[in-house]
Amino acid sequence: MHLAYPAVLAALLFCIGLYGVLARRNAILVLMSVELMLNAVNLNLVAFDVWLRDTLHSGQALTLFTIAIAAAEIGIGLAIVLAVYRNRGTSDIDRLRDTAETDAAETLPDDAETGRAETDGAANGDAATATDRAGGNTGKTKKAEAAT
């Protein structure tokens, strides 16, 4: 058998997995795409091991090691995805990025232009500033919204 057949198949599997990692929004589908990419690497390892006629079969041994690492990765990754789904109610990657928690220092930044800390918007009658501070927007976003 020629080396080109498994190499082309591995390249196609890797490209499908790469597309899945870049295009999918669901975390479980991203994990499945990573597994496709790892299987493409395993196919290349075994194909080149057979083609080179290695007496130690190091390509096959490395493939077994990669399978063990991939199994551990999928187990831990799935546990993390399930924990995030229970806490947030979604496994959508874009929504997880939007609902990230921020530090208290990021929610109440100092006003750089005047050198004073921002005052409470509710005391000044500015309801948008108080709402933004409760929502966790940063200083630049508050200034842009206050200007409109």
87-146 per-position pLDDT tens digit? 888 888 888 776 566 665 555 555 555 555 544 444 444 445 444 445 555 555 555 555
Is the whole-model pTM more than 0.75?
no
Confidence of residue 33 (pLDDT cuts 50, 70, 90): very high
pLDDT for 113: 52
DSSP state of 118: P
Given a contact cutoff of 8 angstroms between Cβ atoms, the answer to whether 44 and 64 are in contact is no
CB 138: neighbour CB atoms within 10 A? 13
Helix (H, G, I), strand (E, B) or coil at 110: strand
Residue 7 has pLDDT above 90, yes or no: yes
Calculate the alpha carbon distances from 11 to 15, 18, 23, 79 in Å: 6, 10, 18, 29
